[in-house]
Chain A
């Protein structure tokens, strides 16, 4: 479904992502992990056609650079990290913006019943129905993150790219979000590619995992097959497994 061949992406001449070759199938969830600055977000942006890249990116066999904005956005949606909000919109109106390409009234952009239904359904799933008339400037970071995720979902893409989607979410919503994304992908033969910092969540979300360091793929494969102590130590320069064991020990002590 999504194929990357020798993709390199850079800013001002220097490549931040180097020579990535990768294939993601329909219905596959992929987590991308790696230390800060390793090129995870840059890779996502190149896939979303937001940054110029070298090499080939194809969606269902069609090169991204040959596709129009409209075509790409109907196939791929990206949930970026939160940035500043300058103007106040209601939660409902903000999510409705995700229907931009689906709304049939091209002059004033008035939504149809179908558009309203799609937004209301997604707000319900995201536990935001009660907040639909609230201004987004009054929401907490977690609520806002769910609003933007809802907006990404109503876009009805085939591939969803998530850049640290669990940021700002409390534990309950983090786990619920990951469970929801898995179901969402399975129910519609869709693909989720998420950049995550939490290795536990990454392993919970995905069938496959891509580990990056210094702009290159360190490892790509089934979670069970590739994640191990030495890999994590090598990538993060820290004994992740020991840290996890210590956390588990504290947890066990608390329980007893």
Chain B
């Protein structure tokens, strides 16, 4: 297990460096490290390196880091939702976070609303607020109609609210068409030109969220066996469930508020991690963050280089790359098991 973890950490770092190094101009890793050292410590470097500083520091490093952080946040959120709701297909998207965030983005983009104090962060702030607001409504409603907060009630309520909120966004889009293209582009997801500000806000929040969720690893393990079992083993189910659902929605809401709606990684990354490292959440949570982050950096690299200088929507690339990879990991292991039997 230790070897696997070390390989994953090293591979994630290599992917991150590749995400910065490759592009219209390829930059050697040595130069990247020199630029980072210079920006952090002021160490001098050669003229050739100086030419790449703006590309690395202003464009590629923040972009790759943002992709890594967002991918990690979405994957951890997916892992939590799947275990808490005991449903391998569950995600924050099932509970309406992306629909809520889209509505928030729609209000900002289509109606041109700006929050005076938040200014350039109006879209992320409203996207996050609407995403989290939707999940509060879903869980609040579910706990009202079913005091035991059964998983099926939560999922069904989430889907109903999600469809309802989507309908509002669609209606708004139909009535205010002037910025519709901008909304559609936001919904496709992108890491382009988000700058360091997004990272300053998102990185500490995501790191804290992942650590806090890892703290609940035993509860998550127990909850995968069902709510009854969890209660009889002493888990304070209602409190733990509320906390984890809100935390996981906050991770998704925070990520998509900055980068737009990017699906698939939250569904697939945790399953691949479970296949490789087993189901214990002590490993699944931090490794989903690493794996999802690295996967997102690769997807973004493909999205920005494959038909450069144009960017492809990252959300589409995650599905294009993820599906065959997921099928390979999932079914090759099954085939091996079948052979053993």
Q: Which residues of A line the B interface, CB within 8 A?
A: 45, 48-50, 69-70, 72-74, 76-78, 80, 83, 85-90, 93, 97-98, 100-101, 103, 107-109, 155
Contact = CB atoms under 8 A, between A and B. Distances in A.
B236 interface: yes
Interface in B274-298: 274, 278-280, 282
Sorted from nearest, which 4 A-B pairs have the closest CB atoms?
A: A73-B234, A87-B279, A109-B218, A101-B234
A50 B233 contact: no
22 contacts: A48-B231, A70-B234, A70-B236, A72-B234, A74-B234, A76-B232, A80-B226, A80-B232, A85-B225, A86-B87, A86-B88, A87-B224, A89-B221, A89-B279, A90-B278, A97-B218, A97-B221, A100-B222, A100-B233, A100-B234, A101-B234, A155-B233
Given A83-B226, A88-B274, 4 more contacts: A69-B231, A77-B232, A97-B233, A101-B234
Interface residues of B, number: 27
Contact of B278 (A77, A78, A88): A88
A245 to B, nearest CB: 39
Interface in B214-234: 214-215, 217-218, 221-222, 224-226, 228-229, 231-234
Contacts of A98: 233
A51 to B, nearest CB: 9
A76 B279 CA distance: 27
Interface residues of A, dominant DSSP: loop
Contacts of A48: 231-232
Interface of B: 83, 86-88, 214-215, 217-218, 221-222, 224-226, 228-229, 231-237, 274, 278-280, 282
Among A70, A80, A100, find the residue whose CB has the most chain B CB atoms closer than 10 A. Answer: A100
Among A77, A85, A88, A97, find the residue whose CB has the most chain B CB atoms closer than 10 A. Answer: A97
Among B88, B226, B228, B234, find the residue whose CB has the most chain A CB atoms closer than 10 A. Answer: B234
Contacts of A80: 226, 228-229, 232
Contacts of A83: 225-226
Nearest to A71: B234
Contact of B217 (A87, A90, A109, A155): A109
A64 to B, nearest CB: 13
Contacts of B217: 108-109
B232 A109 contact: no
Contacts of A88: 274, 278-279
A73 B232 contact: yes
A86 B235 CA distance: 19
B231 A87 contact: no
